[in-house]
Amino acid sequence: DLEDILFVNVTGNHDTGYSGDVTYQHLARFQQIFGKDNYWIEYNANTEKAWRLVVLNDLLLEGPALQPEFIDYTWEFLYQLFERKFNGSTVLVTHVPFYKEEGMCVDGPEIGYYPADYEREPYKAGLLRYQNHIGQETTNKVLNLIFNNDKPGIILVGHDHEGCEVTYNRNSDSGEWTATRDPESESKYHIKEATVRSMMGEFNGNSGLVTGKFNHNLKQWEWTYTLCPFGIQHGWWIARVSALLTGFFWSLYLVL
C-alpha cells in the first residue's frame, strides 16, 4: 500500500550548509521541498512494542551560528522530545556522526571556523565553517535527552564517506557516552551508531538496510544494520567511454 510508504529526508550540509552558513532562506527552501528538519513519529504507543523514529538536524546543534536562533530552536525540539517520557525504542536519524576519539573511524574529529579576515563573506568571520563530528559535550547531552529510558535503539548517520560502525556506551554514574568497536561489558546501556558508507561510485555505491525485530521473550526491539554495496563507478565509465570510442571509430570509418 503506497499510503504506508514513508520517505525520510535528512538535512545535510550540502542542503543548507553548516550552522555558520544557514540562513532563513536555506532552511525555508529545505522545509518547503523536503519537509521538516526536526520531528518524531511514534508507533504502537502505550504498548510493549512501542518505538519511534526521531529525525534530527544536528547541523544546528553547535555554533557560532549565522542565525543563533536556529540553535535555540533545535535544542527546544530536543527538550520537548525528552519531556514526553517515551517508554519505547528509538531509531535516531541524523547527518553528522557523534563524537568519537581519533582512530575509531577513518576520520578523526575535526572542526573549522571562518577566519577573521574572510573577505568573500566578512559577516561569517568566526562562525562555524565545517565539522565532521558533533562535539563531545554536545554528544553526551543529545544522547542523554533522546536515549533516556534504557530501551534498545539505533543511530543512523552519514557525512563520513568512508562509513563506520561503533557502539556508544553510557556511564551510569557520569552520564557520559564513550564510543567503542564493541559493547563494553561493564556498561549497562549502549546504542549502536551506523555511519552509512557513501553512495558515490568510488565507495562502491552503498546503501544500508536496517531491520527491527521484536523479541517476545525479552519484550524489546532488536535492531540490526547491514551495509549493502551494489556497484562501483568504474564499470559505468568503461562502458560509457567504450561506447563513445566505438561511435567515433565507426564515424571515422564511414568518412574514409
One-letter amino acid for residue 46 of the chain: N
Which residue blocks in the chain are alpha helix, DSSP H? Answer: 24-34, 68-83, 136-146, 233-255
pLDDT at 247: 62
pLDDT at 40: 97
pLDDT at 252: 54
Asked if residue 194 lies in contact with residue 166, where contact means CB atoms within 8 angstroms, the answer is no
pLDDT at 7: 84
Asked if residue 59 lies in contact with residue 16, where contact means CB atoms within 8 angstroms, the answer is yes
One-letter amino acid for residue 97 of the chain: P
pLDDT at 234: 54
Cell for 161? 564517506
One-letter amino acid for residue 231 of the chain: G
User: How do the pLDDT tens digits run along the chain, 256 residues long?
Assistant: 556 778 888 888 888 999 999 999 999 999 999 999 999 999 999 999 999 999 999 999 999 999 999 999 999 999 999 999 999 999 999 999 999 999 888 888 889 999 999 999 999 999 999 999 999 999 999 999 999 999 999 999 976 657 688 999 999 889 999 999 999 988 889 999 998 765 555 556 567 778 899 999 999 999 988 877 665 555 545 556 666 666 655 565 555 5
- The alpha carbon of 147 is separated from its chain's Cα centroid by a whole number of angstroms, namely 16
- 76, 61, 89, 206: which is closest to 148 by C-alpha? 89
Asked if residue 106 lies in contact with residue 160, where contact means CB atoms within 8 angstroms, the answer is yes
pLDDT at 125: 96
pLDDT at 6: 83
- 133, 40, 43, 46: which is closest to 92 by C-alpha? 40
Quote the pTM value.
Answer: 0.84
Cell for 180? 567503542
Which residue's entry shows cell 565532521?
Answer: 132
Average pLDDT, the chain: 86
